[in-house]
Amino acid sequence: MPAETAATPQTGTLPWDRVGLDDRFTFRCGRELDCFTHCCLDVTIVLTPYDVLRLKHSLGMSSSEFLDKHTLSPSFPGQKFPLVILKMDEQTKRCPFVSAEGCSVYRDRPWSCRMYPLGSAEPKNPTPEEGAFHFVVLEDLCHGHNGGTSRTVREWIDGQGVEEFEMMGASFKYLTLHDFWDVSQELTPSQADMFYMACYDLDRFRRFVFETRFLELLDVDEARVEAIRAHDDELLEFAIEWLRFSLFGERTMKVRPNAVVEAEA
Ligand code: SF4
Ligand code: SF4
């Protein structure tokens, strides 16, 4: 997608045909189109943890500041875990990052903005016959489908820098598709807060790790401690491992033997 803009489709149902990675579609986007930035108006953009991380860095904000200022955390019946969505401007309903020139956070725009006009979906239990798939979103607001360059789905994805987002998103996807959610009741308020902190409010999670007894209780090797201290993306991976340990009971973390003794004493 050109450097000006991108957007997210609303896909409650999927009225669009599936496309494979080698299927071609034709598309153009840019300020010469009369729909320029219309896709950044009144859209529901669900942010992944890595989206939040990239955006807070881009804006030079802490995760808490970013979440307070730019996101909402909706709740709806049957929701299993906290989600965050980008908050549109209350008056104009536009994305806070759209400008006359296009997307002001283009290098760090969210995954779904990168993908548009492609969407993707994945069954909970993919099989060789039925796995993840893509579709081309055709909406009246977007006039980019009348002409433009023919590309394969794979070429589009490669050109949008999506790979890094998908790599960083893999552990979050694992978390959200886990069998735990099939059998669990709603998270308790403290579990929901743990999830929110670890996935989205990474600076608060950092304080939780380094300013409490966390590292006295959990046995994390020194190299890992230094990596998570130095790099937010390492910290995010670690945060998700911690959630798997604390919510799902997976052995992704080791409790120090003396911590067990203390707990038993
Ligand atoms: S983040 Fe950028 S591309 Fe995405 S909706 Fe906002 S302005 Fe548009
Ligand atoms: S509506 Fe479509 S063509 Fe127009 S700016 Fe947005 S993505 Fe590009």
pLDDT single digits (tens) 129-153:
777 889 999 999 999 998 889 999 9
Q: Binning pLDDT at 50, 70 and 90, where does residue 115 land?
A: very high
Q: Which of 45-49, 84-88, 179-183, 188-192 is predicted with the least confidence, judged by mean pLDDT?
A: 179-183
Q: Is the model's pLDDT at 14 over the cut of 70?
A: no
Q: Find out whether the beta carbon of 103 lies less than 6 Å from any atom of ligand 1.
A: yes
Average pLDDT over residues 154-170: 93
Q: Binning pLDDT at 50, 70 and 90, where does residue 22 land?
A: very high
C-alpha 117 – ligand 1 centre gap (Å): 13
Q: Which residue owns the Cα nearest ligand 2 atom 8?
A: 29
Counting ligand 2 atoms within 8 A of each CB, the residue from 28, 35, 42, 116 with the most, and so the one to mutate, is 35
C-alpha 34 – ligand 2 centre gap (Å): 9
Average pLDDT, the chain: 90
pLDDT > 90: percent of the chain: 78
Q: Work out the angle at residue 183's Cα, subtended by the Cα atoms of residues 178 and 185, and round it to the nearest 5 degrees.
A: 110
Quick one: pLDDT at residue 17?
Answer: 81
Q: Is the model's pLDDT at 1 over the cut of 60?
A: no
Instruction: Give the Cα separation of 46 and 172 in Å (integer).
Output: 13
Quick one: pLDDT at residue 211?
Answer: 98
Quick one: pLDDT at residue 261?
Answer: 55
Q: Binning pLDDT at 50, 70 and 90, where does residue 192 land?
A: very high
Q: Are 179 and 49 in contact (CB under 8 A)?
A: no
Displacement of CA 87 from its chain's centroid (Å) = 15
Task: Report the greatest alpha carbon distance in the chain.
Answer: 72
Instruction: Give the Cα separation of 237 and 164 in Å (integer).
Output: 13
Q: Find out whether the beta carbon of 115 lies less than 6 Å from any atom of ligand 2.
A: no
Q: Is the model's pLDDT at 100 over the cut of 90?
A: yes
Q: Which of 6-10, 120-124, 224-228, 254-258 is predicted with the least confidence, judged by mean pLDDT?
A: 6-10
| Phi–psi pair at 108, nearest 5 degrees | -120, 20
- Which ligand 2 atom lies nearest to the CA of residue 36? 5
**Model-level pTM?**
0.90
Q: Which residue owns the Cα nearest ligand 1 atom 1?
A: 109
Quick one: pLDDT at residue 4?
Answer: 39
Q: Find out whether the beta carbon of 142 lies less than 6 Å from any atom of ligand 2.
A: yes
Q: Is the model's pLDDT at 52 over the cut of 50?
A: yes
Q: Is the model's pLDDT at 259 over the cut of 80?
A: no
Q: Binning pLDDT at 50, 70 and 90, where does residue 184 land?
A: confident
Q: Which residue owns the Cα nearest ligand 2 atom 1?
A: 142
For residue 113, give the ligand nearest its CA. Answer: 1
- Which ligand 2 atom lies nearest to the CA of residue 102? 5
Quick one: pLDDT at residue 18?
Answer: 87
Q: Find out whether the beta carbon of 41 lies less than 6 Å from any atom of ligand 2.
A: no
Quick one: pLDDT at residue 200?
Answer: 98
Q: Find out whether the beta carbon of 29 lies less than 6 Å from any atom of ligand 1.
A: no
Q: Find out whether the beta carbon of 105 lies less than 6 Å from any atom of ligand 1.
A: yes
C-alpha 169 – ligand 2 centre gap (Å): 25
Find the Cα–Cα–Cα–Cα dihedral 211, 217, 220, 221, rounded to 10°: 100
C-alpha 216 – ligand 1 centre gap (Å): 42
